[in-house]
Amino acid sequence: MNKVIVLLVLLVFVSIFAVMNADSVNVNFFFAKLDVSLALVIFISVLLGAIMAFVVSLLDRFKKYKQTDSLKKSLRECEQKVVELESTLKTKEEKHEIIQEQME
């Protein structure tokens, strides 16, 4: 909920800033020159920045998902090893008890 509020406040500030700077500007691309509103340039820039941030966030989430998946696999392997070791320990303890009984 806090993210939505911060996003809305940021959107309001960008909108006010863009409207206050509504003059026409000359934008040079590699292949063309355009005369557009500065407000439009600001909105497009903010939109592209948001898209790039979203893509980076998705990549980070994917990386964390893969890491979590790997850690879960390692945990399952360790838990299985613990079960095997507990079984081995129990077997050895039983053998030890039998040997102790025989010695008495």
Can you tell me the distance from the alpha carbon of 42 to that of 26, in angstroms, rounded to the nearest whole number? 13
2-20 and 38-103 helices, crossing angle to 10°: 160
* pLDDT one-digit tens code per residue, 31-43: 888 888 888 888 8
Six token digits for residue 65? 């998902």
Q: pTM (2 decimals)?
A: 0.61
* pLDDT one-digit tens code per residue, 49-61: 989 999 999 999 9
**How would you write 41-85 as a 3-class SS string?**
HHHHHHHHHHHHHHHHHHHHHHHHHHHHHHHHHHHHHHHHHHHHH
Decide which of 22 and 82 is more confident.
82
Q: What is the mean pLDDT of residues 97-101?
A: 86
